[in-house]
């Protein structure tokens, strides 16, 4: 009976994806099949298969910027772009099925947001001739996606949200000099998190700052792990971890109750209650990704386009969180930091 149920569900997903590729599926509110307005006569029609690991603010912001850039620039590039968006639901099997269907539908390019989605897309597209563009992949080389940032090779490229670890901890020292230990919360199954945590450990070891690790597997684990870490450490650090980010409001609430700071690696995680970061602007990251897609659609081989790492970092502080836990941010003016005054 279980096998029949699984087969039935797989057939339903395949049919749904196939319907989306031909112009959208009204039953799937996540599918976005927008097209560039006022395309010139004779414009080339192309389809972009867009997969996102899961829905949370950071990744949603990237997706919005990608689709906006494609709509904005399609006509001037002689294109009519249809976007078939699918949510991977944070599940490897779902991601693989979606990417395989993109390949079967012969989309012109696959855009994958976050490391697990990019890995699924790269595997599915191998040998198909379909280029892959990734976004929000912290370490594309370590994730096995490209040979190097300068020369990706194969039929893949994208944008990286590499984290300025030293800058984040320098900010933490400035804001909360009383912090003497950190709890590190992350999903050990996310390559992007492992890469950042390795850098964090190296930094903390070098500074002789003790830390405790709190591994989570699902977003439901975040609350328990947070409580454990807050009971042992002065502050928490969270990388751009999709599992943690999806439960950021829970983590922030636990930390505020404990009157302890949470430093994060994404501005959206600050908006969801983290104290501060020196982070990437995800709208800019998405726009850069969209530009890459257009370059590929107009003839440039993906493997010849260097991976772009966004270096324009900015300090972001949550004013409400600072007030709630007693952190003085009065020295920071508009020219020094983006002070968020509300929690999403």
Q: 295 with 241, same domain?
A: no
Q: 192 with 219, same domain?
A: yes
Pairing mode, if any, of strands 314-318 and 182-187?
A: unpaired
Give the pLDDT of the chain (344 residues) as one tens digit per residue.
444 444 444 444 444 444 444 333 333 333 444 444 555 677 899 999 999 999 988 899 999 999 999 999 999 999 999 999 999 999 999 999 999 999 999 999 999 999 999 999 999 999 999 999 999 998 999 999 999 999 999 999 999 988 899 999 999 999 999 999 999 999 999 888 999 999 999 999 999 999 999 999 999 999 999 999 999 999 999 998 989 999 999 999 999 999 999 999 988 899 999 999 998 888 999 999 999 999 999 999 999 999 999 877 889 999 999 999 999 999 987 767 788 764 44
Q: 218 with 121, same domain?
A: no
Q: 38 with 176, same domain?
A: no
Q: 140 with 255, same domain?
A: no
Q: 45 with 177, same domain?
A: no
Q: 240 with 103, same domain?
A: no
Residue 304, domain extent: 2-161+282-309
Let me know the angle formed at the C-alpha of 140 by 139 and 142, rounded to the nearest 5 degrees: 70
How long a stretch of residues is the chain? 344
Q: 297 with 231, same domain?
A: no
Give the residue from 278, 275, 284 showing the smallest Cα distance to 251.
275
Surface-to-core class of residue 185, CB atoms within 10 Å of its CB (0-12 exposed, 13-18 middle, 19+ buried): buried
Are the C-beta atoms of 149 and 306 separated by less than 8 Å?
Answer: yes
Q: 129 with 169, same domain?
A: no
CATH number of the domain at 329, please. 3.40.50.2300
Q: 123 with 169, same domain?
A: no
Q: 76 with 212, same domain?
A: no
Q: 55 with 121, same domain?
A: yes
Instruction: Tally helices (H) and strands (E) across the chain.
Output: 12, 13
Let me know the angle formed at the C-alpha of 281 by 34 and 146, rounded to the nearest 5 degrees: 80
Q: How many domains does the chain have?
A: 2
Reported pTM: 0.77
- The CA distance from 343 to 248, in Å, is 11
- The CA distance from 42 to 189, in Å, is 46
Alpha helices in the chain (DSSP H): 2-21, 57-73, 92-104, 115-125, 165-175, 191-206, 222-230, 242-245, 248-258, 267-271, 282-297, 319-325
- The CA distance from 40 to 13, in Å, is 35
């Amino acid at each position: 009976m279980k096998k029949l149920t699984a087969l039935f569900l797989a057939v339903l997903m395949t049919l749904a994806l196939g319907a989306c590729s031909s112009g959208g599926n009204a039953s799937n509110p996540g599918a976005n099949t927008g097209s560039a307005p006022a395309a010139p006569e004779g414009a080339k029609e192309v389809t972009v298969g867009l997969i996102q690991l899961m829905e949370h603010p950071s990744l949603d912001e990237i997706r919005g910027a990608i689709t906006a850039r494609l709509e904005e620039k399609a006509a001037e590039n002689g294109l009519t772009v249809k976007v078939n968006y699918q949510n991977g639901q944070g599940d490897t099997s779902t991601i693989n099925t979606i990417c395989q269907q993109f390949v079967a539908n012969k989309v012109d390019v696959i855009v994958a947001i976050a490391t697990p989605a990019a890995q699924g897309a790269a595997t599915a597209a191998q040998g198909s001739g379909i280029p892959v563009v990734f976004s929000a992949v912290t370490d594309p080389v370590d994730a096995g996606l490209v040979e190097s940032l300068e020369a990706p090779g194969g039929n893949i490229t994208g944008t990286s949200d590499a984290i300025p670890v030293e800058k984040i901890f320098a900010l933490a020292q400035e804001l909360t000099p009383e912090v003497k230990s950190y709890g590190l919360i992350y999903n050990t199954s996310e390559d992007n998190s492992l890469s950042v945590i390795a850098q964090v450990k190296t930094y903390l070891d070098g500074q002789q700052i003790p830390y405790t690790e709190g591994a989570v597997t699902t977003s439901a684990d975040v609350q328990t792990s947070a409580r454990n870490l807050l009971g042992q450490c002065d502050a928490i650090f969270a990388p751009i971890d999709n599992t943690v980010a999806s439960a950021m409001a829970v983590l922030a609430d636990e930390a505020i109750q404990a009157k302890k700071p949470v430093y994060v690696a994404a501005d959206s995680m600050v908006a969801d209650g983290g104290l501060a970061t020196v982070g990437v602007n995800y709208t800019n990251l998405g726009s850069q990704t969209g530009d890459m897609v257009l370059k590929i659609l107009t003839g440039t081989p993906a493997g010849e386009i260097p991976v772009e790492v966004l270096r324009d970092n900015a300090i972001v502080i949550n004013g409400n969180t600072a007030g709630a836990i007693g952190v003085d941010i009065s020295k920071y003016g508009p020219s020094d930091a983006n002070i968020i005054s509300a929690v999403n």
